[in-house]
Structure formats: structure tokens, C-alpha cells
Amino acid sequence: MLYRTLGRTGVQVSTLALGAMNFGAIGRTTQDEATALVDAALEAGINLIDTADMYSAGESEEMVGKAIAGRRDDLVLATKAGMPMGNERNHQGSSRRWLVTELDSSLRRLGVDHVDLYQIHRWDPRTSDEETLSALTDLQRAGKIRYFGASTFPAYRLVQAEWAARKHHLSRYVTEQPSYSILQRGIESHVLPVTEEYGLGVLAWSPLASGWLSGAIRAGRDITTSRSAFMPERFDTSLPANRARLDAVERLAAVADEAGLTMIQLALGFVTAHPAVTCALIGPRTLDHLHAQLAAADTVLSADVLDAVDAIVAPGTDLAPHEKHDTPPALLDPALRRR
């Protein structure tokens, strides 16, 4: 396992990190299975576990807490808040009122007295940067969180938050967690230059592009990934974006074969090759999935292989731009662009 410094914090983290979104109802994972995944990941040298309050409505945090009992200090523990937790209108977002309340709930579910990294799951356009950063700074000073970060923020919001922290003399985000893979490279043109400028660590999620780069999806095969059942539009090959993805996957498979790599090694090696990326978040549901992904732990792609990837999916290009999670609200809601 390789290790890198998380932004400018001085904390060393593994280049592969364990994402726990599949723990619980989402991945139909039992506690015993989740604990086995944590055991195997830690044994392999992974030392960062990332979860969120909304994963299976808190069940993921509970499972992580039970799995790490007795060894909490041996790992970097990260969670997130901000997505809706139920139907009550104020049980979401990044207001002081909600963050203070929800962090206590996360700590209770995890069975710990602090988390190492507390992340705002999505930018909340209803809440000012000063409000959010002030609350996070106070939670940090209270010892409940060591650092805090952003997740899937547009580049300009990261810059705005940096400006607000400096103006109001508050602590700043130290990480960003964006979606990044060979098939979704848009952040190379805006988010990653900003994270490099401000020294933010980058935890890349969905490096296997929801299974497109797992090796299981190939031309002529039925697509039966776990995601295809509840997100069928992402795998409908009658759609132009998905046909483009399938074509790219076939060409990437040839590159992997020629280099003596699995598709997973190619995909994870690509993500961790970018100098702005600290680690790739893997989210296995089974031990077989985990072991296949751990095979990429020390994969370092040659310049020739990276050039071949660039020739298939151009740098800064998203093959499915409609799946972006950082689109400005005015592009999604017509009412916000009408006088």
C-alpha cells in the first residue's frame, strides 16, 4: 500500500481508502460482512474509512462503528453531513443548527468521541459560507472534529469558501471529495486546479464509474451490476452517453490487456496517478470485490498507458455530463434564471 499526505494536514493516508456507502441496506451488507471488509482492508494497509450520515439512513455509520471498535485510533475516520435525513425541512443542509445536532448523532452511531474528517456532503446554496465555516470551526475547537472538508463542490464554491475563511478568520476546508474516473474527467479542468492552488487533499469517489470500469461491463454482455437495478438509465445502452461509455470501455480494455493489467487496476491507477489526488475511495460489497480492488494498491501506470487513456477519453472530458453532481442550481431550476 502506498501513502500520501492529506492536503497540508500532515496526516498520512493510504492511496486506496474504504468507502462504506454499501454497508447496510444500500448494499444489502450485514454487520458480519461489513466487519470482514474492514478487517481485510486494515490488514492490507488501508487506514482511511469514509462514510456518511445518510448512507442507509445512519446504518452505515453504525456498522462502521461496530467494525472499528477497539482500534479507532489506528485509522483516519471520515463522515459527512448535509443530505436530507428524513422529511423534516431542517434536517439537512449546512446550517449551524443542523451540523451541531447531526454531528452528535453521527458520533453516537459511530461510537466515538470525534471524527478525523467531517465533510459537507453537498454545497448548500441556502446557507452562507460564514455560517457553515463558523459552525465547523467551533466543532473543531470543541475537539469533536479534527479537520473538515467539502464534497462535490463546484470549483468556484471552493474559492468562495477559501475567501470567506480568510475574511472571517475561520478554519478552512482541507479536503474536497469529487467524483473522478477515466470516464468522468471534467474536474481536471476546474476543480483539481483549485485544490492544487489551495493545498486541499482530494478523496476521489466513484473511480470505477459506478461499475463501468470494473471489467464486468463489456459489449455483448447483459449489464447486471448492483447499480443497474436502481439506476437503470445509467446503463441503458440505447442512450448516446452510455453508448459512448461502452465504446470507451472496449478500447480501454484493450489498453489494459496490452499493459498486463485488469480494468480495475487501470481505473484505480489512473485516478491515483493525478498529482492532485490523495486517494481513491473504493466501495466493495463483498470480499471478492475488495480483493480485486486491493490488487491495484501499488499500481503505477506508465506514461505510455496514460497517453493511451488520454487518446480514448480526452483530458477534462465528461462522457456523461448530465450525471454531474456540482451543476449550479440555476442550470437545473428554470425559476432561478428568470426575472
Give 290-333 pLDDT, tens digit per residue: 999 999 999 999 999 999 999 999 999 999 888 877 877 788 78
CA neighbor of 204 nearest in space, from 275, 259, 134, 140 = 275
CA neighbor of 206 nearest in space, from 245, 179, 233, 177 = 179
Instruction: Reply yes or no on whether 198 is catalytic.
Output: no
What residues does 201 pair with on adjacent strands? 175
Burial of 139 (0-12, 13-18, 19+ CB in 10 A): buried
Length of the chain: 339
Q: Compute the distance between CA of residue 258 and CA of residue 254 in angstroms, rounded to an integer.
A: 6
Burial of 334 (0-12, 13-18, 19+ CB in 10 A): exposed
Given pLDDT bands bounded at 50, 70 and 90, which one contains residue 58? Answer: very high
What is the per-residue pLDDT for 217? 86
What is the per-residue pLDDT for 230? 58
| Greater pLDDT, 237 or 138 | 138
pTM, to two decimals: 0.94
What is the per-residue pLDDT for 324? 79
Q: What is the largest CA-CA distance in the chain?
A: 58
Rg of the Cα trace of the chain? 19
What is the per-residue pLDDT for 104? 98
**Helix or strand run (H / E) with residue 291:** helix 287-294
Chain segment 234-286, per-residue pLDDT in tens: 778 788 889 999 999 999 999 999 999 999 999 999 999 999 999 999 999 99
What is the per-residue pLDDT for 329? 78
HSE value, Cβ hemisphere, 13 Å, CA-based, for 286:
4
Segment 43-49 shows an average pLDDT of 98
What is the per-residue pLDDT for 256? 98
**Helix or strand run (H / E) with residue 157:** helix 155-168
CA 308 from chain centre, in angstroms, equals 25
Sign of CA dihedral 64, 68, 70, 71: negative
Residue 336 has pLDDT above 90, yes or no: no
| % of residues, the chain, pLDDT over 90 | 86
How is domain 3-337 classified at the CATH fold level?
Answer: TIM Barrel (3.20.20)
CA neighbor of 254 nearest in space, from 189, 327, 309 = 309
What is the per-residue pLDDT for 322? 81
Neighbours of 333 (CB within 10 A): 10
Chain segment 77-95, per-residue pLDDT in tens: 999 999 999 999 999 999 9
Pairing of strands 48-50, 16-19: parallel
Segment 112-117 shows an average pLDDT of 98
CA 60-66-70 angle, to 5 degrees, is: 140
What is the per-residue pLDDT for 203? 98
CA 289 from chain centre, in angstroms, equals 17
**DSSP structure class, residue 191:** H
What is the per-residue pLDDT for 331? 82
Catalytic annotation, pick one of 3, 55, 173, 198: 55
- Phi, psi of 246, deg, nearest 5: -65, -40
